[in-house]
């Protein structure tokens, strides 16, 4: 069972390496990440959040339903946003920042290029909450957290609370 790292763990701030080997180990990691995502009722999880500094995220855009019958897990390897259009503000949370939610403005639509677990190149257009979720996860690959999008005062307040929480845990 993978442990999801929480702020202020420094491993959440690393720049993840590109994946170059598409083998069983990568597929097993993706599977373990999906299990951790479901166990924690998340909609997405990035490899650095489980201490693996590689460019891979997993998502399930149906996950808010928490219905195992409609699960739609997907792994995105070396994902990169090529185009952003529009703007959309939604309330975000993150498994690495437990207990905090905040409004974040992001692109409403994105075009993303990525590779499958087998190394095949793909391109997809996403809009709305799906696009927001993937942008949030891709941020993790460069060590960025959703609080980094907030005004400095609010960001510092959340950081202080989280650091205090971590110390008393």
Residues that are catalytic: 137
Nearer CB in complex with Ni ion: 98/119: 98
Of the pair 25, 91, the CB lying nearest Ni ion is at 91
Output the smallest distance, CB 64 to Ni ion, in A: 15
**Which one, 5 or 119, has the nearer CB to Ni ion?**
5
* Least Å from the CB of residue 145 to Ni ion: 7
Gap between the Cα atoms of 122 and 149, Å rounded: 28
Residue selected from 77, 94, 126, 147 as contacting Ni ion according to rule CB under 5 A: 94
DSSP 99-119: T-EEEEEE-SEEEEEEE-TT-
What are the strands, taking DSSP E only, across 10-120?
Answer: 44-46, 56-59, 74-85, 88-93, 101-106, 109-115
**Per CB under 5 A, 56 contacts Ni ion:** no
Q: Which of residues 100-159 bind Ni ion (CB under 5 A)?
A: none
d(CA 157, CA 108): 27
Is residue 11 within 8 A of residue 140, CB to CB? The reply is no
Residues that bind Ni ion (CB under 5 A): 94
């Amino acid at each position: 069972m993978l442990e999801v790292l929480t702020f202020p763990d420094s491993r959440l701030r690393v720049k993840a390496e590109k994946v170059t080997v598409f083998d069983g180990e990568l597929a097993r990691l993706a599977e373990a990440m999906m299990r951790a995502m479901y166990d924690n009722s998340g909609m997405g999880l990035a490899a650095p959040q489980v201490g693996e500094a590689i460019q891979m995220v997993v998502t399930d855009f149906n996950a808010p339903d928490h219905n195992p019958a409609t699960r739609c897990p997907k792994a995105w390897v070396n994902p990169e946003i090529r185009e952003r259009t529009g703007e959309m503000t939604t309330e975000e949370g993150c498994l690495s920042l437990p207990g905090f939610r905040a409004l974040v403005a992001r692109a409403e639509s994105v075009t993303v290029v990525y590779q499958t677990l087998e190394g095949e190149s793909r391109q997809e257009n996403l809009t709305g909450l799906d696009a927001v979720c993937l942008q949030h996860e891709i941020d993790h690959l460069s060590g960025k957290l959703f609080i980094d999008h907030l005004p400095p005062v609010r960001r510092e307040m959340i950081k202080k609370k989280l650091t205090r929480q971590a110390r008393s845990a």
